[in-house]
Structure 1
Amino acid sequence: MSKAVNNMSMGVVEPQERMKHLSHCGNFIDVDKTQPVTRYYRSGTEMLRMANVYLREGNHENAFILYLRYMTLFIEKIRQHPDYGNVKAEVRDINKRIKDEIMPTTEKLRAKLLAHYQREYEQFLANKEAERVKELEREREQERQRQRELASRQAVGSSVIPSLIPANLHVLIDDGTQPSAPDLDLLDQVVYPNDFPTGANRTNLPGSGLLLPTGDASSDKTSNSKPSFDRNQKPSYNRTDSLLAGSLRIVHVPADTMEVFLQLAKANTSNNIETCGVLAGHLAQNQLYITHIITPQQQGTPDSCNTMHEEQIFDVQDQMQLITLGWIHTHPSQTAFLSSVDLHTHCSYQMMMPEALAIVCAPKYNTTGFFILTPHYGLDYIAQCRQSGFHPHPNDPPLFMEAQHIQKDAHTKIKVIDLRR
């Protein structure tokens, strides 16, 4: 991993390093050969939808990352999939789109971002130089103040000492007697070399990375305090941009989602049959909003549910410009958790969309779970598991967890598209 990636939290301001890190994020995508190749083409479609939203909203960094990721997937990585040769029509259309639209847009974004980073860097250097000049002036003023105070103490001392020493007393330094104790107030005025650091010791700038420190601005110092560099003068980066920072974007869930879905599943639930649906929505201001439940044609059992005719789901999403944000299903007679089959089902969702939710409704126990595979263990473990059907998995470390990036929204209502009818 690059030095810039390792030091994201520390920060560096050089424009080329920042662009290098953006490119690294854009190239960070892999193809799982066990997943249907069509899912990658669906993921690519949704990737472009999000990139276009970011572009319209002026979030050029995230737009650049997604456009670059799209090109990385379909120019390079998708060729590794064993079923690549079966999607010639899609490949032809995508290659034309990349050449005519995406590549020119990405290059324009690259130039715009580099120019923006260069302006920020030049402003940073100018602020740094201005701060250096201010610090030098503060040092000079502190030295002048020290000299004035020292001169004042010497003047007071020279007027007092003669009246304190008897005229007939002559003391020699080398006569074996002890000199008097030093004046502690005078010691406080001594200036040591490290009290006023300059150059590299003064700024203490970190060496590499992208995100820049955003600590509080330094307040005005008194004459005895050490000067400090105002870190707010560094070029800043919006850390909420999760594609760059690596965090999960907030997913807004209408508060009535579970109640509405349980009503859709009521007939199946009474017969102890699972029901499933796809959660879809849109992106706005770097947050994800679930707006629809798409209930596909399906076959359910007491502990599983399989969708059919997925192309119908894709058609609806294309018509309404909806992004897949996860799935929802019932456990008619069990508690809310992810079974081994559920883990594998959700893996394909989360690989395409890191924020994808698995909502499990357990009406018998009146509970609901909002789950994701653990990002640093469970997702990779399940992706590499080649077993099918119900099979045991280790419980430690945990393979899934309660989602922490959701926000229930009481002011919006979920919409339903029921394809079973």
Structure 2
Amino acid sequence: MSTPLSTPKSIEELHLIAKMHTDDCIPIEIYTSSADLLIKQARIYYKEENEEQAYVYFLKYINLLLIELSKRPGFNHLDNNDMVQTCMEALEALEVLRPSIEAVHESYQLFHTVKSQPSPERYSPTAMDWEPTPTRQDQGVPPPPLPPKVKINKDSPPQLPPKIRILLDQQDTDNNNHRQEMIASQLRILNIPTVIQKSFLNIARFNTSINVETCEGTSDTCITKDEEAIFNYQDKNGLLTLGWIHTHPSQTCFLSSVDLHTHCSYQLMLPEAVAIVCAPNNNPDFGVFRLTSPEGIKEITNCKASSSFHPHSDTTILYQNECQHVRLNSLSTLETVDLR
């Protein structure tokens, strides 16, 4: 993944980005494993001298542990020795990074303030220099005739022409696309091997034949099983979670309400995270999705519905299929490890 350039942000803006939200229904062990991923990502950004992203991820780690998880009843039963040391590391890193980030932002603001000021004019004409421009009447040219008066029906307002409606709808779509492009420009490029579809469907072949979703699932739901084994493997091999993948053997390629809530936790931890869906019996049979930001993230994090399948707002685009930071790469290789 590569790091794009973006407008320097203030400390206040970075604190807003670093806010964390947790779901009481998700076990605390899942979040502590996610915290390990956050601190690893923070260290990578710090090593790459990407100060803003390092600051955000160190702060996310602090917010997750000391603000969100510390409220949980089971938090005191965790082995906190390593956490305390890592929190101290994160706090020290924040103190080191803060002055540099503030200096860069202030310098950027000062530059644009000076740039926006009008430059002094070298010559300002006085009243003696100025002469009025001759009018058409002074030149003997008759004025143009007035346009005919239009009768206005005050009882009914004029209808908006259909073309203008289309243009307005298109403008709303363009504005949303532009906003998503701006968000995508701040994400690292995520390269996904195209062979992942064939490889995962081969693993899921038996489940698909009996109409069961893979990860562990039913005909229309799935969950991740033995996540601790996954986290342990990642920890030993220095790997990061970049998303998740599952099948829809009897459904089309989309994110259900359950999938949206599942993916939300991934994307809150890592904005680049994606959800991959394989629907072998439908067309299209493959999709890479992520929640829109901030609309989709806000809608799902604020949703408190208790039932598995439930409706969400139909006025907001909650997720998107065209992830502009994703590159499907036919040359990349893939190593699959089956922990079942």
> Same fold by TM (over 0.5)?
yes
Match of 2:197 in 1: 258
Question: Given that residues 10 and 101 in structure 2 are in contact (C-alpha distance below 8 angstroms), is that contact kept between their aligned partners in structure 1?
Answer: no
Distance 1:340 1:22 in 2: 29
| Compared CA separation, residues 23 and 376, structure 1 to 2 (3 A) | closer
Residues 187-207 of structure 1, C-alpha deviation per residue, up to 9 Å, x if partnerless? xxxxxxxxxxxxxxxxxxxxx
Match of 1:115 in 2: 103
Question: Given that residues 357 and 403 in structure 1 are in contact (C-alpha distance below 8 angstroms), is that contact kept between their aligned partners in structure 2?
Answer: no
Distance 2:105 2:296 in 1: 37
Question: Given that residues 274 and 332 in structure 1 are in contact (C-alpha distance below 8 angstroms), is that contact kept between their aligned partners in structure 2?
Answer: yes
2:54 counterpart of 1:63: yes
Question: Given that residues 30 and 77 in structure 1 are in contact (C-alpha distance below 8 angstroms), is that contact kept between their aligned partners in structure 2?
Answer: yes
Question: Given that residues 329 and 359 in structure 1 are in contact (C-alpha distance below 8 angstroms), is that contact kept between their aligned partners in structure 2?
Answer: yes
Match of 1:201 in 2: none
2:35 counterpart of 1:44: yes
Task: Output the TM-score relative to the length of structure 1.
Answer: 0.57
Residues 56-88 of structure 1, C-alpha deviation per residue, up to 9 Å, x if partnerless? 22211121122122223323332223432332x
Match of 2:250 in 1: 333
Distance 1:123 1:347 in 2: 38
Kindly provide the amino acid, as one letter, of the partner of residue 96 in structure 1: Q
Distance 2:25 2:43 in 1: 29
Distance 2:96 2:66 in 1: 19
1:416, distance to aligned residue in structure 2 (A): 0.9
Question: Given that residues 20 and 268 in structure 2 are in contact (C-alpha distance below 8 angstroms), is that contact kept between their aligned partners in structure 1?
Answer: no
| Compared CA separation, residues 35 and 418, structure 1 to 2 (3 A) | same
Out of 256, 275, 279, the position equivalent to 1:362 is: 279
Residues 33-61 of structure 1, C-alpha deviation per residue, up to 9 Å, x if partnerless? 33222222222211122222222222111
1:111, distance to aligned residue in structure 2 (A): 1.9
Superposed, 1:231-246 pairs within 5 Å as none
Larger radius of gyration: 1
**2:138 aligns to what SS in structure 1?**
coil
Distance 1:124 1:395 in 2: 39
Match of 2:290 in 1: 372
| Compared CA separation, residues 258 and 62, structure 1 to 2 (3 A) | same
Question: Given that residues 296 and 319 in structure 2 are in contact (C-alpha distance below 8 angstroms), is that contact kept between their aligned partners in structure 1?
Answer: no
Superposed, 1:20-419 pairs within 5 Å as 20-26=12-18, 28-87=19-78, 89=79, 91-99=80-88, 101-120=89-108, 132=119, 135-137=120-122, 140=123, 143=125, 181=138, 249-276=188-215, 299-366=216-283, 367-376=285-294, 378-383=296-301, 384-389=303-308, 391-393=309-311, 396-397=314-315, 400-405=318-323, 406-419=326-339
- Count of aligned positions: 287
Gaps of 5+ in 2: 1-5, 132-136, 142-179
RMSD (CA atoms)? 3.7
2:7 counterpart of 1:18: no
Task: Output the TM-score relative to the length of structure 2.
Answer: 0.69
| Compared CA separation, residues 369 and 313, structure 1 to 2 (3 A) | same
Distance 1:93 1:316 in 2: 19
Which protein has the bigger strand share? Answer: 1
Kindly provide the amino acid, as one letter, of the partner of residue 361 in structure 1: C
Residues 250-297 of structure 1, C-alpha deviation per residue, up to 9 Å, x if partnerless? 433212211221122223323333222xxxxxxxxxxxxxxxxxxxxx
| Compared CA separation, residues 143 and 326, structure 1 to 2 (3 A) | same
Distance 2:263 2:181 in 1: 25
| Compared CA separation, residues 183 and 32, structure 1 to 2 (3 A) | farther
1:362, distance to aligned residue in structure 2 (A): 1.3
Question: Given that residues 213 and 219 in structure 2 are in contact (C-alpha distance below 8 angstroms), is that contact kept between their aligned partners in structure 1?
Answer: yes
Gaps of 5+ in 1: 1-8, 151-179, 185-238, 277-298
1:373, distance to aligned residue in structure 2 (A): 4.0
Match of 2:145 in 1: none
